[in-house]
Structure 1
Amino acid sequence: MSKDIQADLAFVKALVSEGARVRISGGALYLAGGVCYGLQCLVQWVHLAGIVNIGMWGNLIAGILPTVVFLAVMCVILWRDRKVPKNGVATRALNAAFSSAGLANLFMVGVFAYTAITEKSILIWLLYPITVCAFQGAVWFTAYMIRREAWLAIISIGWFITTFALGLLIGSPHYVLVLGLALSVIMGGGGWYMMRQARK
């Protein structure tokens, strides 16, 4: 009997630790993405609003450096967690939801970029971040439906509000400001809180 109890406790402990490890890694990725791309948008807003002229090199660095830093962080996390099992039902469901959204975003960026270039329209390109925000709202709502944690619903609502706000601000320099704040606060903050909850 005691062996059965010990086996059950070991199984539960494995599930909890697995979920915590995965959530810490996911949170770290979201925090890194929020900080990198949030700062990128805020730097671009400062330039577009005429507050500071960062010049051609400043724009080039702002355009490339965040992606380089984020990819480096992602590679470190993926390498560190390469042997972590992901067998829990909730973990696999969340991974599927976030991976599907990421895959959809990957294809959509190609579609929007190609169309914007061929049509010579910046307006078409500005619709892409709005689509990303809508996807984020949907995937975080999926996470809420699986985990039933209120903070996940708050993150989802934040993304949907951002989607609507960006639609109203197309063509304005404040479009980039709102996007930068959303990435920094909603994405970065959501990632930080995910890590904090997992460590508890």
Structure 2
Amino acid sequence: MSDNSAGTGRDIQADLAFVKALVTEGSRAQISGGALYLAGGVCYGLQCLAQWAHLVGIVNLGLWGNLIAGFLPSIVFLAVMGVILWRDRKVPKNGVATRALNAAFSSAGLANLFMVGVFAYVAITEKSMLIWLLYPITVCAFQGAVWYTAYMIRKQIWLAVISAGWFVTTLTLGFLLGTPHYVLVLGLALSVIMGGGGWYMMTQARK
């Protein structure tokens, strides 16, 4: 009887250790993903807001200001991404939910990578800035889809709210295409939806 009790105790400890590992892994992945989204939202959101302020005449960025606004956000974001990837290089990602979410976000990232090439090529060959402005709308639609996928996996309402925000942004940008306010709405969406979503993701993971 004592042997059975000891065996049951070991089984319970093993189960608890397994559950703890899954929770810890999920939390670490959420913190890292949230940090990336927060960094991306802040960097590119501020970039769009600066460009909008320049377009409507609030500020005059000039040549150097435009160059800094064009390249600095990507430099900062890539630096943050490099630090996070290096920090998490040995963290296992074996949980089913974690792998599913990674697959969803990675797939959206790959789709965006190929679409940027398509839109850039067509915009250059057709000499149409309007075509290029369709690319951010596509990105917003992809973001809405991938956050909805996250909601279907996690069943957390805030994920559905983020998804809805991206879809509303997609429609709004379509109506504002070709106007200076297009850049304003995109900047606000990146700052609030992407950056805010990343911050909330980190907050939830730490709880």
TM-score tier, shorter chain, comes to over 0.9
SS at match of 2:75: helix
Matched, 1:138 2:145: yes
User: Partners in 1 of 2:176 and 2:57 — Cα distance?
Assistant: 17
Which residue, out of 183, 190, 194, partners 1:183? 190
User: Partners in 2 of 1:52 and 1:4 — Cα distance?
Assistant: 66
Matched, 1:54 2:55: no
AA aligned opposite 1:95 = N
User: Partners in 2 of 1:193 and 1:51 — Cα distance?
Assistant: 32
User: Partners in 2 of 1:32 and 1:52 — Cα distance?
Assistant: 24
Which residue, out of 197, 200, 207, partners 1:193? 200
User: Partners in 1 of 2:171 and 2:66 — Cα distance?
Assistant: 27
Which residue, out of 6, 26, 43, partners 2:50? 43
Which residue, out of 118, 121, 134, partners 1:127? 134
AA aligned opposite 1:66 = P
Which residue, out of 160, 164, 178, partners 1:157? 164
AA aligned opposite 2:114 = F
TM-superposed CA distance for 1:56, in Å, is 1.1
User: Partners in 2 of 1:100 and 1:69 — Cα distance?
Assistant: 23
TM-score (norm 2): 0.96
Residue 63 of structure 1: aligned partner: 70
Matched, 1:96 2:113: no
Q: Which structure would you say has the larger Rg?
A: 2
Matched, 1:26 2:33: yes
Matched, 1:72 2:79: yes
**Aligned CA-pair RMSD:** 0.4
User: Partners in 1 of 2:108 and 2:127 — Cα distance?
Assistant: 27
Matched, 1:170 2:163: no
Sequence identity (%)? 85
User: Partners in 2 of 1:168 and 1:59 — Cα distance?
Assistant: 26
AA aligned opposite 1:162 = T
Aligned residues: 200
User: Partners in 2 of 1:56 and 1:127 — Cα distance?
Assistant: 25
AA aligned opposite 1:122 = M
Unaligned runs of 5+ in 2: 1-7
Matched, 1:113 2:120: yes
AA aligned opposite 2:19 = V
AA aligned opposite 1:74 = M
AA aligned opposite 2:112 = N
TM-superposed CA distance for 1:165, in Å, is 0.3
Matched, 1:147 2:154: yes
Residue 83 of structure 1: aligned partner: 90
User: Partners in 2 of 1:49 and 1:92 — Cα distance?
Assistant: 44
SS at match of 1:17: helix
